[in-house]
């Protein structure tokens, strides 16, 4: 079963062809990082304009490198939620038009759901269920109880910043480039994680929710000083930047691991699934390698936003008869979050 997936939720334009939900025949991504780097974050209007320019070439390239024609497809899948509304609309419009033109079913996919599914791509490993899922990215940090990939329930989420967002903001404070996650991860490996004791916000004893804004502010105060005794990040030595990166990363990883531990205890989970951009993090991967349950991470190329995970998840949605009408909407929030988020 061949499915074309389309991804345009944030700042990557992606298209992929996936066979039988797991075999990735092509996975094309047009990154907009260069366009947004000078603003140190994604500018929604710039993102949607870039999606318009990229979407058709990316789809054509995905079909071409998979060596298939539109007629060979079983369905067209699109991440239609959650994301930036202007960005989502481009992918949704392209997917609807293609599905209608070739007379194939349209499958709307929740991007967060697809991040959880990404651990199934290009691997024979199948996580024992029920599982606890963590999606940690620039836009999301949330925990899920997964009965199977069609039975997913959110059990905790961040009350403020996403963990990837904290990485990007701390990178800004340290005068590092955007996006900050990969750079901080690299520097952290050479620094001392015990150099600075940053706070680990665990909320109440049983809570599965997260808060990363206090940690970010704590790094800001540590770097710039309190009560006007400000000094700029550029005055930090390279060794200090490495130590702050390592100490910040240790705080993030401690919180994520502790919340996963709580969630597995509370749900009786048999395994752990971790997806999203921050699932590429080497500190998180090292810490979870000691976890008492089997832990499933995506291959590195499927951690950050991509369309292969969209097409892969669509395979099981399609098999369950969950196709979408051609008036499918682009929706800013996830199907698992509260409508007000
Ligand atoms: O999943 P993703 O591509 O987009 C969203 O759905 O948000 O995640 C991007 C986020 C960015 O905040 C980036 O800094 C972070 O993932 N990231 C990392 C690493 N690689 C990417 N954070 C920590 N360590 C990494 N190695
Ligand atoms: Zn994402």
pLDDT in tens, 127-175: 999 999 999 999 999 999 999 999 999 999 999 999 999 999 999 999 9
Among 164, 172, 248, name the best residue to mutate to test ligand 1's pocket (greatest count of ligand atoms within 8 A of Cβ): 164
10-24: per-residue pLDDT in tens? 989 999 999 999 999
- Mean of the pLDDT values across residues 103-116? 98
Give CA separation, 112 vs 59, 60, 97, 214, 313, in Å.
22, 25, 24, 25, 11
pLDDT at residue 35, rounded to an integer: 87
Residue 341 pLDDT more than 70?
A: no
Model confidence, pTM: 0.95
Q: Is 23 helix (H, G, I), strand (E, B) or coil?
A: strand
User: For residue 146, what are the β-bridge partners?
Assistant: 131, 152
Q: What is the pLDDT of residues 277-335, one digit of tens each?
A: 999 999 999 999 999 999 999 999 999 999 999 999 999 999 999 999 999 999 999 99
Which ligand ends up closest to the CA of 303? 1
- Find the mean pLDDT for residues 103-117: 98
Confidence of residue 220 (pLDDT cuts 50, 70, 90): very high
Q: Give the distance (Å) from ligand 1 centre to CA of residue 181.
A: 6
Handedness of CA 66, 69, 74, 78 (dihedral sign): positive
For atom 18 of ligand 1, the residue with the nearest CA is 181
Confidence of residue 38 (pLDDT cuts 50, 70, 90): confident
Residue 234 scores a pLDDT above 80: no
Residue 240 has pLDDT above 50, yes or no: yes
Of the candidates 277, 224, 282, 232, the residue with the CA atom closest to the CA atom of residue 253: 282
What are all long-range contacts of 185-188, with beta carbons under 8 Å and residues at least 24 apart?
A: 185/249, 185/280, 185/281, 185/282, 185/283, 187/241, 187/242, 187/245, 187/246, 188/242, 188/245, 188/246, 188/248, 188/249, 188/250, 188/282, 188/283
Alpha carbon of 202 to ligand 2 centroid (Å): 24
Looking at residue 325, its pLDDT comes to 98
Whether ligand 1 lies within 6 angstroms of the CB of 161 is answered as no
The pLDDT of residue 31 is 87
Asked whether 181 lines ligand 1 (CB < 6 A), one says yes
- CA nearest to 15, candidates 36, 3, 333, 326: 3
**d(C-alpha 143, C-alpha 11), whole Å:** 23
**CA of 167, closest atom in ligand 1:** 14
Measure the CA–CA gap between 27 and 14, rounded to whole angstroms. 7
The rounded Å distance from CA 279 to ligand 1 centre is 8
Closest CA to 244 of 184, 202, 301, 285: 184
137 CB within 6 A, ligand 1: yes
Q: How confident is the model at residue 39 (pLDDT cuts 50, 70, 90)?
A: confident
| Residue predicted with more confidence, 233 or 96 | 96
Mean pLDDT confidence for 219-224: 92
Looking at per-residue pLDDT, the higher value among 335 and 235 belongs to 335
């Amino acid at each position: 079963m061949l499915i074309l997936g389309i991804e345009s939720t944030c700042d990557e334009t992606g298209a992929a062809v996936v066979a039988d939900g797991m075999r990735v025949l092509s996975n094309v991504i047009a990154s907009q990082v260069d366009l947004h780097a000078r603003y140190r974050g994604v500018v929604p209007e710039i993102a949607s304009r870039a999606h318009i320019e990229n979407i058709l070439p990316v789809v054509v390239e995905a079909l071409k490198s998979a060596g298939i024609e539109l007629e060979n497809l079983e369905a067209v899948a699109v991440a239609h939620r959650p994301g930036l509304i202007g960005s989502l609309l481009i992918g949704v419009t392209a997917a609807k038009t293609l599905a209608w033109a070739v007379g194939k079913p349209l499958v709307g996919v929740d991007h967060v759901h697809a991040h959880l599914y990404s651990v199934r791509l290009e691997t024979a490993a199948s996580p024992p269920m029920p599982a606890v899922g963590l999606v940690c990215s620039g836009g999301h940090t949330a925990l899920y109880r997964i009965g199977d990939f069609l039975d997913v329930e959110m059990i905790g989420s961040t009350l403020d910043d996403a963990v990837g967002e904290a990485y990007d903001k701390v990178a800004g404070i340290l005068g590092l480039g955007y996006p900050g996650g990969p750079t901080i991860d690299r520097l952290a490996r050479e620094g001392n994680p015990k150099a600075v004791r940053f706070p680990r916000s665990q909320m109440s004893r049983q809570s599965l929710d997260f808060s990363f804004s206090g940690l970010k502010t704590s790094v800001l105060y540590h770097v710039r000083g309190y009560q006007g005794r400000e000094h700029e990040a550029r005055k930090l030595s390279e060794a200090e930047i490495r130590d702050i990166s390592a100490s910040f990363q240790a705080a993030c990883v401690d919180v994520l691991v502790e919340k996963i531990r709580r969630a597995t205890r509370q749900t009786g989970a048999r395994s752990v699934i971790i997806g999203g951009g921050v699932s590429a993090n080497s500190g998180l991967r090292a810490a979870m390698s000691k976890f008492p349950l089997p832990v499933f991470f995506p291959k590195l190329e499927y951690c950050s936003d991509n369309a292969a995970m969209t097409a892969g998840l669509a395979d099981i949605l399609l098999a369950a008869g969950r196709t979408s009408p051609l008036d499918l909407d682009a929706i800013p929030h996830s199907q698992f979050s509260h409508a007000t988020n």
